């Protein structure tokens, strides 16, 4: 998509813009006469036809058949969202409505679910939220529980409220008392540090101070390393998939099935979201741009959210390419910001 199309004169741009706006509103191909009237320009339908022919040559619009009006192509939408679109900032009202959906006392999981629901309800499309990376949050506590022979349950309390369980399979057996002492040792050394720092510390100690410690403490370090080694649960929360059934441009049953299956599998959704995590602004995929062909007629609007200035996740919506970008974009944008600050609020013990 090299977009040599940038050098369109003002009139062509206006026409393209009104055409796409009209198509997004009504879902009908737009003809030259209507376009001439609604564009506000003082030109005749014939002139508009000439311009439209040019736009078609540039691949920005196309005619479904000889004598229908024109509809935007993927490139047309691209140009539209990149340089023609004027987003309608959400009113303070709307922001408050969204904000009231966040319960700062909820666990991260619940917060993600609520956000995802919120996105899908407000936009009437499918909402999705990538779980935040936890690498930089504080480890509050670490505990071991003996489940059976050589099987230990590691419990990580993160950030004072999040709890993660991990079952570890070990080479040798420890009794509960040994495990307890190991946990005490690790907690004394590590509590309060970020997971990232914890991991570094453990790896360093394993290398450096091997010989200076008794066997028990060595084992403790080993165990601790195992406990924090796993990645965060790699997951994404989606909601409102069923909204997509209502759009007739997605009426093809087979594609619809693929789409819904993608939501169940989550793998491809994850792939798409992860592509966006680097950007620091709202990002938009139109149609096949994401590389999946079952994405025909679908667009994705995403925005990363950050805590303390660091991007920790992405959220967004999926809907038909023919969506109201001017409404959806600011919603996604605001939601990302609000989620970020909801996560960033200092953990409260009140209540």
Residues that bind its own copies (CB under 8 A): 140-141, 143, 145, 147-151, 153, 155, 157, 160-161, 163, 165, 167, 169, 239, 241-242, 245-246, 251, 253, 256-257, 260-261, 264, 347, 349, 351
Q: Which residue stretch of 30-38, 84-92, 116-124, 155-163 sits at the interface with DNA (rule: CB under 7 A)?
A: 30-38
Per DSSP, helices labelled H in 127-241 are 176-190, 195-208, 215-229
Is there binding between residue 12 and DNA (CB under 7 A)? no
Backbone angles phi, psi at 233, to 5 degrees: -55, 130
- Residues touching DNA: how many (CB under 7 A)? 26
List of residues 6+ apart from 2 with CB closer than 8 A = none
Among 31, 76, 313, 340, binds DNA (CB under 7 A): 31
Dump the DSSP string for 235-279: -EEEE-GGGGGG-GGG--HHHHHHHHHHHHH-HHHHHHHHHHSS-
Is there binding between residue 56 and DNA (CB under 7 A)? yes
List of residues 6+ apart from 237 with CB closer than 8 A = 109, 112, 113, 115, 116, 128, 129, 131
Is there binding between residue 63 and DNA (CB under 7 A)? yes
What is the Cα–Cα distance from 46 to 51, expressed in whole angstroms?
9
Among 14, 18, 32, 39, binds DNA (CB under 7 A): 32
Compare residues 147 and 229 and give the one whose CB is closer to its own copies: 147
Instruction: Return the SS3 of 316.
Output: strand
What is the Cα–Cα distance from 287 to 284, expressed in whole angstroms?
10
157 interacts with, out of its own copies, DNA, none, CB within 5 to 8 A per kind: its own copies
Q: Residue 44 CB, nearest distance to DNA (Å)?
A: 3
Q: Residue 11 CB, nearest distance to DNA (Å)?
A: 7
Q: Residue 277 CB, nearest distance to DNA (Å)?
A: 41
Q: Residue 349 CB, nearest distance to its own copies (Å)?
A: 4
What is the Cα–Cα distance from 152 to 168, expressed in whole angstroms?
5
Backbone angles phi, psi at 69, to 5 degrees: -75, -165
Compare residues 65 and 351 and give the one whose CB is closer to DNA: 65
Is there binding between residue 16 and DNA (CB under 7 A)? no
Backbone angles phi, psi at 182, to 5 degrees: -65, -45
Is there binding between residue 249 and DNA (CB under 7 A)? no
Q: Residue 263 CB, nearest distance to its own copies (Å)?
A: 9
Backbone angles phi, psi at 257, to 5 degrees: -60, -50
Binding site residues, DNA, CB under 7 A: 11, 28-34, 42-47, 49-50, 52-53, 56, 63, 65-70
């Amino acid at each position: 998509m090299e977009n040599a199309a940038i050098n369109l004169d003002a009139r062509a741009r206006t026409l393209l813009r009104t055409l796409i706006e009209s198509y997004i509103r009504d879902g009908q191909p737009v003809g030259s006469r209507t376009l001439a009237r609604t564009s506000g320009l003082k030109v005749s339908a014939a002139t508009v036809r000439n311009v439209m022919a040019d736009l078609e040559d540039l691949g920005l619009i196309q005619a479904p058949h000889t004598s229908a009006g024109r509809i935007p192509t993927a490139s047309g939408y691209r140009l539209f969202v990149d340089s023609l679109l004027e987003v309608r900032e959400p009113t303070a009202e709307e922001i408050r409505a969204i904000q009231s959906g966040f319960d700062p006392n909820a666990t991260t999981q619940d917060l993600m679910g609520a956000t995802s629901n919120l996105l899908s309800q407000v936009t009437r499309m499918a909402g999705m939220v990538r779980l935040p990376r936890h690498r930089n949050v504080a480890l509050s506590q670490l505990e071991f529980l003996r489940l059976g022979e050589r099987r230990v349950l590691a419990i990580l309390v993160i950030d004072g409220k999040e709890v993660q369980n991990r079952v570890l399979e070990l080479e040798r057996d420890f009794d509960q008392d040994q495990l307890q002492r190991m946990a005490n040792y690790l907690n004394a050394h590590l509590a309060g540090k970020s997971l990232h720092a914890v991991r570094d510390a453990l790896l360093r100690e394993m290398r450096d101070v091997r010989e200076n410690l008794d066997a028990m403490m060595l084992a403790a370090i080993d165990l601790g390393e195992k406990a924090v080694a796993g990645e965060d649960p790699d997951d994404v929360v989606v909601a409102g998939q069923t909204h997509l059934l209502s759009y007739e441009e997605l009426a093809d049953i087979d594609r619809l099935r693929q789409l819904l299956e993608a939501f169940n599998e989550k793998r491809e959704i994850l792939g798409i979201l992860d592509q966006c995590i680097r950007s620091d602004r709202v990002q938009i995929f139109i149609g096949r741009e994401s590389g999946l062909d079952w994405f025909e007629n679908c667009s994705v609007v995403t925005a990363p959210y950050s805590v303390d200035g660091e991007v920790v996740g992405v959220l967004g919506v999926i809907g038909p390419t023919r969506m109201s970008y001017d409404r959806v974009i600011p919603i996604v944008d605001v939601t990302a910001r609000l989620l970020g600050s909801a996560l960033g609020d200092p953990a409260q013990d009140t209540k």
